[in-house]
């Protein structure tokens, strides 16, 4: 089953953003109407129509704010932020495209305007990181200052800070957790504004976030958990293998080896060429397949851009480091590992995602016969944000 698009990648991204409507981040009617104007698999058409919608919502938000209609303004700003981010999604094949930065800034600004209207329970923060800072939001249940269980939530291969509230922040608040979200290297503003690239040793990102969280009097230091989404499932696993001040971890999904997962997407002929050192032939085969495979085209261009690679083969070499092999055994805290049986992005890591760690772990699988393939891994978002994962950390 697919919704709005026949193209796998477009359908996936449509559903991803449609899911935000649960918490006010999108609207069914707006999205269906916009999708009907987009040409299948056409990145420029995708940009044009979502950008139009974003600007229309932004104008509506500004007008509502000027008229003193604060609730309407807040809602429109949140949806505008989502649509600007959606518009920008497929632009990374040309890293010099100025729209990457302008759309990202528009999304950030609209979200920040909504946060101001919500009030002090949505707190923008800056997390010290090496010689700079990483942007984040600290979402609070209330302003009591009471120390609460706190979830640190990180995104993945294509995440931006402004979407993380919908994936976990909202559900955490409803269950009595405060939630710290952040953009790391390779994500959101850090890569677009400062050219900070993905790194395999993500404990170097999570440890500063833990340091920051523990400076706050409203964080219960004995109930601090980490959750990583998509590629963030690897990042979270890597981090808790080294950062032992975290008391629980959720891998959404449990991605054991990112390089292996990406290789599984490639034509067998390309893998054979790359394995014998023929990068030119391997890349030619991949690029030919990319012409008719939207998901592969996006994955390769996104990877080259976000890892700062010089070529597809360089990207594939760089991500070989993103593996839990020989490291998973260092995990000490209880873990919840989520998995979609036919996850279109991490099939090769299936079953390895049980993470051979020494700590207590739980495992949750979403079977293909119950969930259509295109929404298999997003269904886990619904199960995790509507009860099991944030509830699990209390046990």
Distance CA 255, CA 156 (A): 11
What distances in angstroms separate CA 370 from CA 134, 178, 249, 317, 374, one per listed residue?
Answer: 39, 32, 26, 36, 12
Say how far apart CA 227 and CA 206 lie, in whole Å: 11
Which of helix, strand or coil describes residue 134? strand
Q: Are 338 and 381 in contact (CB under 8 A)?
A: no
Q: What are phi and psi of 333, to 5 degrees?
A: -85, 160
CA 253 distance to own-chain centroid: 11
- Active-site residue, selected from the candidate residues 107, 230, 261, 389: 230
Ramachandran class of 186: left when φ > 0, alpha when ψ lies in -120 to 50, beta otherwise: left
Rounded CA-CA distance 229/227 in Å is 7
Phi/psi for 355 (5° steps) reads 55, 100
What tokens does 212 get? Answer: 């920051």
CA dist list (Å): 383 to 33, 156, 303, 308, 342: 28, 19, 28, 34, 16
DSSP annotation string for 283-297: HHHHHHHHTT-HHHH
Task: Indicate the DSSP class of residue 145.
Answer: -
230 catalytic? Reply is yes
- Tally Cβ neighbours within 10 Å of residue 276: 10
Q: Which residues are catalytic?
A: 230
């Amino acid at each position: 089953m697919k919704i709005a698009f026949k193209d796998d990648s477009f359908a996936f991204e449509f559903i991803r953003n449609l899911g935000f409507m649960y918490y006010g981040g999108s609207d069914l009617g707006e999205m269906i109407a916009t999708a009907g104007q987009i040409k299948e698999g056409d990145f420029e058409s995708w940009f044009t129509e979502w950008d139009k919608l974003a600007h229309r919502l932004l104008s509506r938000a500004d007008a509502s704010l000027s008229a003193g209609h604060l609730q309407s303004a807040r809602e429109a700003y949140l949806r505008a932020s989502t649509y600007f981010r959606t518009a920008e999604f497929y632009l990374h094949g040309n890293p010099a495209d100025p729209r990457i930065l302008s759309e990202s800034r528009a999304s950030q600004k609209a979200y920040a305007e909504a946060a101001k209207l919500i009030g002090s329970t949505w707190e923008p923060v800056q997390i010290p990181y090496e010689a700079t800072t990483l942007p984040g939001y600290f979402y609070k249940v209330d302003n009591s200052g009471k120390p609460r269980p706190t979830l640190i939530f990180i995104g993945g291969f294509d995440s931006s800070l402004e979407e993380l509230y919908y994936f976990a922040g909202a559900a955490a608040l409803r269950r009595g957790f405060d939630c710290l979200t952040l953009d790391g290297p390779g994500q959101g503003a850090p890569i677009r504004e400062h050219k900070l690239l993905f790194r395999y040793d993500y404990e170097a990102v999570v440890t500063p976030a833990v340091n920051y969280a523990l400076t706050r009097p409203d964080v219960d230091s004995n109930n601090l958990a980490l959750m990583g989404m998509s590629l963030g499932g690897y990042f979270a696993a890597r981090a808790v293998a080294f950062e032992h001040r975290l008391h629980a971890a959720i891998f959404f999904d449990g991605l054991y080896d990112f390089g292996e997962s990406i290789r599984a997407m490639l034509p067998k002929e390309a893998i054979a060429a790359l394995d014998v050192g023929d990068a030119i032939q391997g890349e030619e085969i991949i690029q030919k397949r990319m012409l008719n495979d939207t998901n592969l085209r996006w994955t390769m261009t996104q990877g080259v851009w976000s890892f700062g690679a010089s070529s597809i083969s360089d990207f594939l070499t760089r991500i070989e480091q993103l593996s839990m092999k020989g490291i998973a055994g260092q995990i000490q805290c209880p873990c919840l590992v989520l998995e979609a049986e036919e996850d279109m992005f991490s099939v090769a890591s299936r079953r390895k995602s049980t993470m051979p760690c020494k700590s207590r772990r739980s495992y949750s699988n979403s079977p293909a016969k119950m969930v259509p393939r295109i929404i298999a891994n997003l269904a886990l978002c619904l199960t995790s944000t509507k009860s099991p994962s944030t509830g699990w950390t209390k046990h």
